[in-house]
Amino acid sequence: MTDDGIVRHFFSGFIRLHILYHAAKEPVFGAEITEELIHHGYRLSQGTLYPTLHQLEKLGYLQSQTRVVNGRRRKYYRATASGKRVLNEARGKLHELVAEVLEDHNRDFQTTRRKRHDAGTEPKL
Amino acid sequence: MTDDGIVRHFFSGFIRLHILYHAAKEPVFGAEITEELIHHGYRLSQGTLYPTLHQLEKLGYLQSQTRVVNGRRRKYYRATASGKRVLNEARGKLHELVAEVLEDHNRDFQTTRRKRHDAGTEPKL
DNA sequence: GCTACGATATCGGAAACCGACATCGAGATG
DNA sequence: CATCTCGATGTCGGTTTCCGATATCGTAGC
């Protein structure tokens, strides 16, 4: 099993995007997000989740509204216009990442590294 | 383009995956990675890149080999078996994220109009 | 020697991370 | 109406990460 504590560095951005995405779709609150993320295989402690939400709100990507549901106080977050803009920017990057990492396994390396003039001397390991 | 300085938190994981992916495909060195990432729209300073590479090597995901090319000392990195395992784990998560965030791209603007509808009641999950 | 330059490495203050712990608040119970 | 319950939000502190600026390293050419 891969150690989640270490691998987490790879996924903190993924988690934020999950949050932004859901908040763009409908109002969401903290505990609900935690469950949703667990369902996706992420573990996000409260000590990370809530500061993250506060941060995203402070940055203007989310906006909150407190409601009482079933006798419990919940803070619902939804994405602002600015948050949706970031989400769209992320979609672009996500698309590129997927194109590389998921899709063309068999194709040749076609990025700009060939612009370097030292090609022939690269090691083949 | 939105402010990269703020948005960066979303993408640090993306960057690590780009690195892992390329290192799994062929040996890569720091300065080359920087160019590659710039081409994808990321900005990664040397003060972040090299510690990140050291970290990934220390974790056992990368393994380095120093070579001299065109009179320059380069440290080539390639992914280890463990690194490839993490990469595959990331592929799974990436797939899920894409399924959510990219697939129903068209629906995310109409939700803004629902404001009156769910006032005082529990918003639909 | 020493200079040029590509490439790697470090430093330090600020920010993020996260497990553990603390607090809040509406309803139920009596 | 005091207290308990429990879902939910919030905070703390030590550790790790971030990153611009700066330093160092190493080879070729002189």
Query: Is the confidence at residue A106, as pLDDT, over 50?
Result: no
- Assess if residue B117 is contained within a domain: no
Nucleotides of C strand lying within 7 Å of any protein CB atom: 6-12, 16-22, 24-28
- Assess if residue B45 is contained within a domain: yes
The three-state secondary structure class of A66 is strand
Residues of A (51-110) whose Cβ lies below 8 Å from B: 59, 67, 69-70, 76, 84-87, 89-98, 100-102, 109
Q: What is the mean pLDDT of residues B83-93?
A: 89
The 8-class DSSP code of residue B2 comes to: -
* CB atoms inside a 10 Å sphere around CB B1: 6
pLDDT in the model for residue B33: 94
Full domain range(s) for residue B78: 4-101
- Assess if residue B11 is contained within a domain: yes
- Assess if residue A111 is contained within a domain: no
Q: What is the mean pLDDT of residues B50-64?
A: 93
Question: What total of structural domains would you count in chain A?
Answer: 1
Helix (H) or strand (E) holding B32: helix B30-39
pLDDT in tens, A17-76: 999 999 999 999 999 999 899 888 888 889 999 999 999 999 999 999 999 998 899 999
pLDDT in the model for residue B111: 41
- Assess if residue B110 is contained within a domain: no
- Assess if residue B88 is contained within a domain: yes
- Sign for the CA dihedral angle at A54, A86, A90, B106 comes to positive
Q: Tell me the CATH number at B15.
A: 1.10.10.10
pLDDT in the model for residue A104: 52
**Cβ contacts (< 8 Å) between A125 and chain B: which residues?**
27, 65, 76, 78
pLDDT in the model for residue A2: 35
